[in-house]
A and B are shown apart, each in its own frame.
Chain A
Amino acid sequence: MGGWAIAVHGGAGVDSRLPEERQAAAKRLLAGCLEIGADALRSGAMAIDVVEMLVRELETDPFFNSGRGSALTARGTVEMEASIMNGPDRRCGAVSGITTVKNPVSLARRVMEFSPHSYLAFQGAEDFAIEQSVGPAMSFDTGIQMNGLPISVYAPETVGCVVVDSTGGCAAATSTGGLMNKKCGRIGDSPLIGAGTYACDLCAVSCTGEGEAIIRATLARDVAAIMEYKGLALQEAVNYAIKERLDGGKAGVIAVSKDGEVAYGFNSNGMFRGCATEDGFMEVGIWE
């Protein structure tokens, strides 16, 4: 084993009637992200930079529910959230309640790098974005960001990326617009370290699906804890977490290990996902 590996996801829980051309578009987008990530890793990029870069790509494309494609709250507003975590030192940053910042994952990275805190939310996070000159960079027009599609039907909740670089360093990032018609102020699993996102010296994990089930399961940390404390391999840990930790909740997980393994699992109806490894393997998929 060894070498770099990437996995990306565009959310779990896909409508089985999703038109073929939309399925093809999703796969193209995921494959494009993997190519960008592979190029960066071949030139020696660090895992933390690659996860941020790829989540930015996914946030910027309106296909998935994050950044430009965010679902709306009950009041018709956008409240985005994101988190990022670097495995080797377990430093992390998170943001919630973002309404104007184009790339919440990059703001989360700034919280990690340039604030004394790990997690900023709502007005304080927007103020920090202005100070850091990462926003406000866009204003949402609900017509455009819905992309002409009934997002409640077709778009799952989240995008995410996990990477192990050629030095064995792992990182994870997750970003979301949250649940369609969520209550204003609702925080889901994506910004929560240990729930939607986790990375340590062993592995990196990003989750998607029913936020409340993922929070209760501390799903991302549990994949890592099962490896660390129970001694299971990466794919076994993912399988165990999906099977034993969700109590009937629907979710999906992508993960990489420091040894360059990649794994995914879901109990939802499909998950937009893709992975690539240094030995040339690449795969994108939606269904089982």
Chain B
Amino acid sequence: MGWAIALHGGAGDIPLSLPPERRLPREETLRRCLRIGVAALKANRPPLDVVELVVRELENCPHFNAGRGSVLTTNATVEMEACIMDGNTKRCGAVSGLSTVVNAISLARLVMEKTPHIYLAFDGAESFAREQGVETRDASHFITPENIERLTQAKAANKVQIDYTQPVLEKTPQVSSSNIGDSQIGTVGCVAVDGNGNLAAATSTGGLVNKMIGRIGDTPIVGAGTYANYLCAISATGKGEAIIRATVGRDVAALMEYKGLSLKDAADCVVENSPKGTTGLVAVSVTGEVVMAFNTSGMFRACAKEDGTSEIAIWDSVENGDLLLP
């Protein structure tokens, strides 16, 4: 028992050679966000508030693919999406196709709390953002020079594949990681549980580099990229199309609910049964367990538990685990 928190900044083909100037700022952001989340849990903030707070911080960091730092569509625009879910009530909110909203996750929460619907998208979601008076900025806030470069590379590498008038044989997203090595790394997310067993999950993303206009991935889909119920909370990351197909978030919970598996066994089962290189997730259970599982080469991730254990890592090996908490 006790509180627990886990967060991620995306899973994918992260080369071990990732240069320090790309690695260190991300590790630092993970560490800072973990501290913020832990402090909020210690101050008895509800997990729903904690996951929103942490994901807002991750969205505001230009090094991750969500909010500021979102990758670009084939038209060089941003289309951000996000989802939040409360475990005990199963209330949830989701948004897609945002181009001006600074914190997509907070708009998802407003959809949950202020509308009769769960999911608003594109113009309707932007209008709702204006109605609610959330902070908006023009495109230059979200688009970083690094992402313009990524789009250029993705386009150069995938001229044929993104010509979707031709049948696409491989159903995986046709986006190469090219020589930046981490251009597929999408999505940020956070899951948390408090000492009373309240659970919540939140996920936010800019999607795929060079995605088609209007493409929706797994992030905003309840049961795919994001899910929480009375047993556990899950935020997934990786190749959206594979995660949608496998209903990754709900499947972890369903394996616990219907088959009686532990959180770890359920998460391992889902990740192992997904095609290699497609799926990562962070999850917490009502009893305060944490799992961070992936079948990609790496996942930017961090977690902490009430018993004092914590971890910040990218690849299989765990680094810096003891540098976190005072």
Contacts and interface: CB of A to CB of B under 8 A. Distances in A.
A221 B214 contact: no
Interface of B: 90-92, 94, 96-97, 115-125, 127-128, 161-162, 164-168, 171-175, 211-217, 221-224, 227, 240-241, 244-247, 250-251, 254-255, 257-259
A279 interface: no
Nearest to B117: A186
Given A92-B245, A193-B244, A194-B247, A119 B216 contact: yes
A216 interface: yes
Contact of A114 (B167, B214, B241): B167
A182 B119 CA distance: 11
A120 B208 CA distance: 13
Nearest to A218: B223
A124 B118 contact: no
A221 B97 CA distance: 25
Contacts of A221: 223, 247, 250-251, 254
B162 A116 contact: yes
A122 B121 contact: yes
Contacts of A193: 221, 224, 244-245, 247
Contacts of A128: 164, 212, 214
A226 interface: yes
A110 B257 CA distance: 35
A154 B55 CA distance: 43
A225 B122 CA distance: 32
A97 B213 CA distance: 13
A266 interface: no
A186 B259 CA distance: 34
Contacts of A222: 250, 254
Interface size class of A (residues with CB under 8 A): 35 or more
23 contacts: A90-B245, A92-B245, A116-B161, A118-B245, A119-B221, A119-B244, A121-B97, A124-B213, A185-B120, A185-B124, A187-B120, A187-B121, A193-B244, A194-B247, A194-B250, A212-B117, A215-B118, A216-B118, A221-B250, A225-B251, A225-B254, A229-B259, A247-B90
Nearest to A90: B245
Interface of A: 90-92, 94, 96-97, 113-125, 127-128, 131-132, 182-188, 192-195, 198, 211-212, 215-218, 221-222, 225-226, 228-230, 247
Given A96-B216, A128-B214, A116 B90 contact: no
A195 B212 contact: no
A230 B92 CA distance: 26
A60 to B, nearest CB: 24
Contacts of A118: 216, 240-241, 244-245
A135 to B, nearest CB: 14
Given A90-B245, A120-B214, A184-B123, A115 B92 contact: no
A192 B167 CA distance: 23
A248 to B, nearest CB: 12
Nearest to B123: A185
Given A121-B216, A185-B125, A229-B259, A116 B173 contact: yes
